[in-house]
A and B are shown apart, each in its own frame.
Chain A
Amino acid sequence: MQMTVSDEALAMAAAGGDRAAYADLVERHYDRIFALCWRLTGQQSEAEDLTQDIFAALPAKLRGWRNDARLTTWLYRVAVNAAHDRRRRAATHAKAALGWGDWEKARQADIAAEAEGQDWLQGAMASLSEELRDTVALILGEGLSQAEAAEVLGLSEGTVAWRMSEVKKKLRAVAQEETR
C-alpha cells in the first residue's frame, strides 16, 4: 500500500523554503493546471502561456498560502484568477475572449479531419459566456462539485447552480441548432 506525501504537506514545506518540495509540487500539478487552462481558454498556446504565468508567480503566492483549503482548490482559484486577469488585459482581450471562436474558425479549415465530437465541443464552448465557460471548465472538466466550484470561484453555491442551469439551456439551444 503506497501513499504519497499530501499536496498540503509539500506546499507547507515549499512555503518554508524547501526547494525539493517545491520542485515536486510543481511537477505534480503542471499537467492538471495546464489542462484547466486549456479548458478555460480553448487554445493550446494560450493555455501554455497562462500556465507558465501561473507557475512563475507561484513561489510568491505560496508564501501566502495558509493551508486553510485543499491545495488543489487553492491552485484552481489561482488559475481561474490568472485566467480572468489575462483576459482582462487589453492587449490580449480580444484574442482571449474569442479564443474558442478563433479556434473554431481555424479548425473549420480541416473540419473533415476532425471527429464529430470535437466540432460539437467547439460549438458548445463558443456558445457560452466567459463566466459559464469557467464554471463548465471546473465542474465538467475538472469534475468538481458545485460546492467546490463555488469555493474556487468565490461565489455562492446558488450562483454556481444557476450558472449550470444556464449552461444546460445553452447546450439545448446548440443541440437544436444541430438538428436543424
Chain B
Amino acid sequence: MTTDPKDELDRLSRALRERAPKPDPAAKRAALARSMENFDRLAKETDSQMRPSQDRPPKRAGFLTGVRHMFSYLTSKQALAVTTSAAALCIGLFIVLPQQQFGTVPAPVEQAPAPMPQPPVGASDEIARSEPAPMAEVAPAPAAGAPAARAKETRRLATPQAAQPQMMAEGAMADMAVGNMVAPSAAPADMIDLPFPPATDSEAFANEDANPVKVTAEEPVSTFSADIDTASYAVVRDSLMSGRLPPAEAVRIEEMVNYFPYGYPAPGPQDAAPFKASVEVMPTPWNAGTQLVRIGLQGRMPAIADRPALNLVFLIDTSGSMQDADKLPLLKQSLRMMLGQLRPEDQVAIVAYAGSAGEVLPPTHASDSAKILQALDRLDAGGSTNGAEGLELAYRTAESMTAEGEVSRILLATDGDFNVGISDPKGLEDYIARKRKAGTYLSVLGFGRGNLDDATMQALAQKGNGQAAYIDTLQEAQKVLVDQLSGALFPIADDVKLQVEWNPAKVAEYRLIGYETRALRREDFNNDKVDAGELGAGHSVTALYEVTAPDSPALLNDNLRYQSAGQAAKGASEELGFLRMRYKAPGEGASQLLETPILAGGAADDDARFAAAIAGFGQLLTGATYLGDWGWDDAIALAQSGKGADPFGYRAEAISLMRLAESLEAGGATATPQTPVPDDLR
C-alpha cells in the first residue's frame, strides 16, 4: 500500500478533530467556578492595592487622589506631562503581577506573551501619540508684554503640585519594596495605562498648545489644512449652558469660528476652482499695534436641482449609554427631520451597533419614508459598543449601494466609547482612509456628553474626509443635517491645504489663531500624499492670522543682532504675504494650485468683525495670552457690531454664550481647570 503523506496529515487532522472527547460538564463547571473565584479574589486584592478610585482605604488615598485631581483640574500641558510621568512611575511600581499568588497554578515556564509596549486601544491614543512628546516640548514662552494673569496662575499652581506627588512617588516606591511585593521587571511601564484609567471621566479632547507668535524672518511660511468641523463650538456651548466653563483643551478656536455661516463670495461660473478665497485685513480688536488677516474660503454652492443621487448609511450606536434623551431620541428626531430633505432617488440604510452589529434597514429609497421611519422607531438602546464591526458592515452596505456617479457617505452617530472592540486604532484609521479613496466618505455625529470621545471622532472624520459635528439640540441637528445637508454630503474639494508666505518687509511677526491640530509641515503642502481637510458644497472655511508690522510697537520679539531686520522682499512689496491653496477634485489624485496675494487695506465688514469676536471668545476661554486687557465686554460688543442679519439666530446665541461665560468666570470660577468638576462632567 502506498501512502501519500498529505493524506496522512489529513487523516491525522480529521482524527484529532473528530475524536476529541466532549468536555465533561462537571469538570467544566468546576474549572469555571474556580476561575471566577480567582477573578473575584484578584479583583478584591488589586482593588485595595492599586486601583485609583475613591473607595480605597484612606491610607493611600492621599497620594493617588492627588494625582487624579491633577489630571482632572490641570490643563497646562507641562503640568500634565509632569503629573503623567509621576503617575506612570508610581502606578507602574504598584502593579504586581499577581500570578505568583496562586499556589496551585504552575508558573509558566515561558512568560505569557510578552506585552508589547503599546498604548491602549483607542484612536484618541493614536492622536496623542502623534503629538510631539509633551515632556520634551518647551511651551511657547508667553509673549512679553502682558501675558494673561490666568495663564500664569495655572503654571504657578501646577508646578508645586506636580512636584509633590513625585516626591511621594519615591516614598511609595520604598513602601512597596518594604511591603515585600515584587514588581515584575518585565512589566512594561505603560501597562498602567490600560486597566487603571487615572480619571473616571472618559471624555477625551484633541488639542494642542496654542500656536505661538512666529518671526517671519525665521519662519516665513505657515501651512495648515482646512477644517470644516464644528464640534468644538457645540461642546463649548453645552458646557456653558450647563453652568461650567469648558475645559481649555475642548476649545478649538477654528471650529468655533467655522461654526457660523459667513457671506463670502462664492466662485462664479467662470471660475475653474470649486471654491474662492477672500482675504481681508483689519485692525486687531485686542491689539492696536497688530492687524488681523482673515482668509475666507467659500465653496461653490451646490446645484441642488441636478445633484447626483445620495447613498447614506446611518451607522447608529445603540449601546446602553445612548438611552438618554439627548442621545438616541434626539438622533431619531434629527434623522426624521433630515429625511424630508432627501429626494426620492436617494437611498438610505441603517446599521446599528451595540453588543452586535446588524443591518436595521436595508438600502431603501427615500421615497419609501414609511419604511425608513419604522426602522428608526425600532432602534433601541442596550448593550455595549463594538464600533469596528458596525463600521465594517456599514462600509459593506455603502459599497453595495454605490452606482456610477453617485456619492456614498456613512454618518456615524455615537456618544463616544467608539474604541471598545477596536484592537488596532491605527489599522482602523488606515481602513477608513482606504475606503475614502475608494469613494465612501465618513462623517461623525457626536451626541451627549460624559464619555464623548472627541479625539476619536475627530480622527475618524479626518481620515474619512468627513465632518465631525456635535449635536446637542434639535436646533443643532437642523443646522448640521438639514441646512447643510448639501454641503456635508457633497464633497467639492478634497485635501484642501493652505499655505501663507509672509513678506518680511511688511510682516515681522505672525500668529495663526487656532488650527493647532491641523498644522502641516511646509513640505507637505506640495505632497499630494499628505491628507488634509475636505470642503463640501456651500461650506465656508475661515482662518485668522494676527500679524505685526516691522515698525510696530507691538512686536514681541526683538531684532536679532546678527541678522539684518526686514530683509528686502522681492516683487510687489505692497503685499503682506502670498496665499497658496491646494485641493484635489473629489476622487482625483493630483492636486490643483490656487494663488492670491494678501494685500493691505479693506474694511472690516460684519462677517470679519464677528469672526474676530469669536476668535476672541475662544482665546478668552483658553488663557487669553495675547489679548492684553481686552475682555468679555469687548468681545460681546464686537460680536454685537458684527451680528448682521443673522437669519438663523446663530450669532445671537453666541453672544448670549459669551455673557454666560463672563458671568461664570466672574462667579468665582477662574477656569475649569481650577474648579472642581464632577467626575463625569455631565
Contact = CB atoms under 8 A, between A and B. Distances in A.
Nearest to A118: B19
Interface of A: 1-6, 8-9, 12-17, 19, 22-23, 26-27, 30-31, 34-35, 38-39, 44, 47-48, 51-53, 55-61, 63-69, 74, 77-78, 81-82, 84-86, 88-89, 117-118, 120-121, 124-125, 136-137, 140-141, 143, 154, 164, 167-169, 171-172, 174-176, 178-179
Contact of B12 (A3, A17, A53, A140): A140
Contact of A85 (B27, B104, B109, B423): B109
Contacts of A30: 23, 28, 31-32
B17 interface: yes
Contacts of B38: 56-60
B638 interface: no
Interface string B275-294: 00000000000000000000
Interface stretch (B115-123, B146-154, B209-217): B115-123
B562 interface: no
A171 B9 CA distance: 8
A52 B29 CA distance: 10
Given A64-B97, A68-B115, 15 more contacts: A19-B36, A48-B23, A56-B31, A56-B34, A56-B38, A60-B38, A60-B42, A67-B118, A67-B423, A74-B113, A117-B15, A124-B8, A140-B13, A175-B1, A176-B3
Contacts of B110: 81, 84, 154
A60 B41 CA distance: 10
Contact of B116 (A12, A16, A53, A66): A66
A117 B423 CA distance: 41
Categorize the interface residue count of chain B: 35 or more
Contact of B17 (A64, A141, A154): A141
A71 to B, nearest CB: 9
A64 B36 CA distance: 17
Interface of B: 1, 3, 5-6, 8-9, 11-21, 23-24, 27-28, 30-32, 34-36, 38-40, 42-43, 46-47, 51, 97-99, 101-102, 104-110, 112-113, 115-116, 118, 120-121, 187, 191, 194-195, 355-359, 384, 386, 388-389, 393, 420-421, 423
Contacts of B359: 1
B31 A52 contact: yes
A177 B105 CA distance: 41
B97 A56 contact: no
A5 B386 contact: yes
Given A56-B34, A168-B5, A66 B194 contact: yes
Q: Which 7 A-B pairs have the closest CB atoms?
A: A66-B115, A140-B13, A171-B8, A9-B421, A55-B35, A52-B31, A57-B105
Contacts of B386: 3, 5-6, 9
Contacts of A88: 109
B384 to A, nearest CB: 7
Given A85-B106, A168-B9, A175-B8, A3 B3 contact: no
Nearest to B51: A17
Contact of B16 (A19, A44, A86, A136): A136
A57 B102 contact: yes
Nearest to A35: B20
Nearest to A17: B43
B11 A120 contact: yes
Contact of B21 (A38, A69, A172, A176): A38
Nearest to B423: A8
A66 B108 CA distance: 18
Contacts of A16: 194-195
B51 to A, nearest CB: 8
Given A66-B116, A67-B423, A85 B107 contact: yes
A65 B38 CA distance: 17
B105 A56 contact: yes
A56 B35 contact: yes
A52 B27 contact: yes
B31 A19 contact: no
Given A58-B35, A171-B9, A84 B3 contact: no
A61 B12 CA distance: 32
Contacts of A55: 31-32, 34-35
Contacts of A81: 108-110, 112
